[in-house]
A = this chain, B = another copy of it.
Amino acid sequence: MRDQLLQGIVDLDRESRLPLSEQIYRQVCIAVRDGVLPAGRRLPSSRKLASSLGVSRNTVNTAYELLKSETVVDIRTGAAPVIANRQPLDGMTNSLSAGETVIKTLSARGNSLCVNPREKLRPVDGGILEPGVPAFDLFPRETWARSLRRVSRLMSQDDVFYRHVAGLPGLRELLARYLAEERGVKAVPEQVLVTSSTQASLALLAQCFADPGETAFIEEPGYLGARGAFANADLNVLPLPVDNEGAIPPTGNQGPTPQLIYLTPSHQYPLGFAMPLARRLAFIELARTSGAFILEDDYDSEFLFSGRPVASLQGLAAGPEVIYLGTFAKTMLPGIRVAYMVVPANLSEQLSQAIRNMGMMASAPSQAALADFMAAGHYRSHLRKIRLAYQERGLALCNALRARLGNRMDVFLPAGGIQLVARFKNNEDDQHIARLLQQRGVGVSALSATYLQRPETGLIIGFSGADAPTIRRGVDEISAVLSQ
């Protein structure tokens, strides 16, 4: 009898590392679930099944024991095992045939959360001249690898369990000192909260400081990540137009009161302008009188080429108006997944709990290695090195674009950073052009995607990795696409 030997039911895969006994067990379970083996059906003895399958009797016995312990089969001494009566499958066979399968779908908020925000900006990642990423060729991988190894050998239990939700104390201390010295940030180490990325910080702050339907101001054009974080938190996102002094503070008392004001005052993203003092003070005042928080995203102030960057808004503000956001994604590597925010002292403990509750704690090896790397002075010397390289590369790219394509595009001389903007004089379809360039291996972004309302068109072009041959090739490709 076929069924007695479980032919067509048990089919062993000897290549699998799943033990044969477990394969037998699982396949019988499924047959029972599917009604192929009904209650009362006798199973072959372990001797017969073993010989039919070509396995040891022990293997079959182990499977039968598992089935017995799950009450799928009854085994009485001396008798063949039988599929147990209805107890273990109570009601199951009926509902299996009767019930409709309900299609599983995303929730309404899931539908917005699962959208690729860069779809319009840049359909594919990668390619030369990609904006938003540091130079991979200049990364000091040997020094970094040694830091990682050293800290992993020396780590303490406190470093790697759940103790330090807001970051390793050593890193927070180094960051507080570094930010005070370099950016005029005023903070004790307890105000520095480490997270796994700026995107995580923004998602957290959007939820912690605004309820659904409340208002967030963003820059126009501006950073898509911030726009996405606020939209995903179900906020009303309003654009602040940008001129060559950065975002323009709203005047008068019309319009909704913001809960959050997202700004990039050191180096406006993507246009690159610095915000002068008057506007800084106006925004601080707006925050002070409206109860909003300014989220100051200082994403790349480390790379301003000419002179020292203006001190941070956070340091300029007298009170708790500003939350400062920084990241190691541009100065080191995105994959390290360490960012930080500087928050008002009285909120530090509460926001740390939110980091825990949202699962946004940063990797301990990355954090410890960064602290090691900073304490040894490698971080400052790495920054000096890449600042010079970026300046050289940025100017070279700017000059090459102006010389070759100055009739088609206005190329902004970068004040710093890792990318520049070239605006089309004739408002060409930048998303189409960016797609064509992507297909040719040039990873530039369409400027229009960074606007919420009235887009200008152009390209956002990264220069961090742009050595001379890369620039030549990139400008050739852009020129070729524009001549089509």
Name A residues whose Cβ lies closer than 8 Å to a Cβ of B: 16-19, 22, 25-26, 29-30, 32-33, 66, 70-72, 87-92, 95-96, 99-110, 113-117, 125-126, 130, 132-133, 136, 141-142, 144-146, 148-150, 152-153, 155, 157-163, 180-182, 184, 195-204, 207-212, 214, 228-229, 232, 259, 276-278, 281-282, 285, 288-291, 293, 307-308, 310-311, 315-316, 319-321, 333-338, 344, 347, 350-351, 353-354, 356-366, 369
Q: Contacts A113-B208, A148-B152 hold; do A102 and B363 have CB atoms under 8 A apart?
A: no
Q: Contacts of A308 on B, CB cut-off 8 Å?
A: 19, 22, 66
List the 6 closest A-B pairs by CB distance, nearest first. A335-B364, A200-B359, A102-B291, A199-B359, A160-B335, A363-B363
B149 touches A201 (CB 8 A): no
The 8 Å CB contact of A162, one of B104, B125, B210, B289, is B125
Q: How far is it, in angstroms, between the C-alpha of A366 and the C-alpha of B91 when the chains are bound? A: 46
Q: Contacts of A132 on B, CB cut-off 8 Å?
A: 162
Q: Which residue of B lies closest to A29 (CB)?
A: B277
Q: How far is it, in angstroms, between the C-alpha of A366 and the C-alpha of B109 when the chains are bound? A: 30
Counted per complex, copies of this chain come to: 2
Q: Contacts A92-B285, A104-B291, A200-B358 hold; do A70 and B114 have CB atoms under 8 A apart?
A: no
B336 touches A99 (CB 8 A): no
Interface SS of chain A: helix, strand, loop or mixed?
A: helix
Q: How far is it, in angstroms, between the C-alpha of A181 and the C-alpha of B20 when the chains are bound? A: 11
Q: How far is it, in angstroms, between the C-alpha of A363 and the C-alpha of B152 when the chains are bound? A: 15
With both chains docked as a complex, state the minimum distance between the C-beta of A157 and any C-beta of chain B, in angstroms: 4
Q: How far is it, in angstroms, between the C-alpha of A116 and the C-alpha of B350 when the chains are bound? A: 8
Q: Which residue of B lies closest to A133 (CB)?
A: B161
Q: How far is it, in angstroms, between the C-alpha of A96 and the C-alpha of B281 when the chains are bound? A: 9
Q: Contacts of A149 on B, CB cut-off 8 Å?
A: 145-146, 148-149
The 8 Å CB contact of A199, one of B107, B288, B347, B358, is B358
A71 touches B278 (CB 8 A): yes
The 8 Å CB contact of A89, one of B109, B125, B281, is B281
With both chains docked as a complex, state the minimum distance between the C-beta of A113 and any C-beta of chain B, in angstroms: 5
Q: How far is it, in angstroms, between the C-alpha of A180 and the C-alpha of B17 when the chains are bound? A: 9
Q: Contacts of A320 on B, CB cut-off 8 Å?
A: 104
Interface centre among A92, A181, A363 (most CB of B within 10 A): A363
Q: Contacts of A350 on B, CB cut-off 8 Å?
A: 106, 110, 114
Q: Contacts of A133 on B, CB cut-off 8 Å?
A: 161-162
A357 touches B289 (CB 8 A): no
With both chains docked as a complex, state the minimum distance between the C-beta of A74 and any C-beta of chain B, in angstroms: 14
Q: How far is it, in angstroms, between the C-alpha of A285 and the C-alpha of B115 when the chains are bound? A: 30
Q: How far is it, in angstroms, between the C-alpha of A458 and the C-alpha of B451 when the chains are bound? A: 57
The 8 Å CB contact of A184, one of B22, B197, B357, is B22
Interface centre among A19, A96, A108, A338 (most CB of B within 10 A): A96
A289 touches B362 (CB 8 A): no
Q: How far is it, in angstroms, between the C-alpha of A311 and the C-alpha of B282 when the chains are bound? A: 62
Q: How far is it, in angstroms, between the C-alpha of A25 and the C-alpha of B309 when the chains are bound? A: 12
A336 touches B160 (CB 8 A): yes
19 additional A-B pairs beyond A102-B291, A110-B354, A203-B357, beta carbons within 8 Å, are A25-B311, A29-B316, A70-B310, A72-B277, A92-B278, A100-B289, A101-B319, A104-B293, A109-B208, A109-B211, A113-B207, A125-B163, A136-B157, A141-B155, A148-B365, A160-B335, A200-B360, A358-B358, A363-B366
Q: How far is it, in angstroms, between the C-alpha of A130 and the C-alpha of B162 when the chains are bound? A: 11
Q: Contacts A107-B209, A162-B334, A365-B365 hold; do A359 and B360 have CB atoms under 8 A apart?
A: yes
In the complex, 6 of the A-B residue pairs with CB atoms within 8 angstroms, ordered by the A residue number, are: A106-B209, A113-B357, A132-B162, A148-B152, A161-B333, A197-B359
With both chains docked as a complex, state the minimum distance between the C-beta of A195 and any C-beta of chain B, in angstroms: 7
Q: Contacts A104-B320, A199-B356, A203-B357 hold; do A208 and B162 have CB atoms under 8 A apart?
A: no
Q: Contacts A335-B160, A364-B333 hold; do A96 and B285 have CB atoms under 8 A apart?
A: yes
Q: Contacts A148-B149, A282-B91, A365-B366 hold; do A208 and B110 have CB atoms under 8 A apart?
A: yes
Q: Contacts of A117 on B, CB cut-off 8 Å?
A: 353, 356-357
Q: Contacts of A159 on B, CB cut-off 8 Å?
A: 335
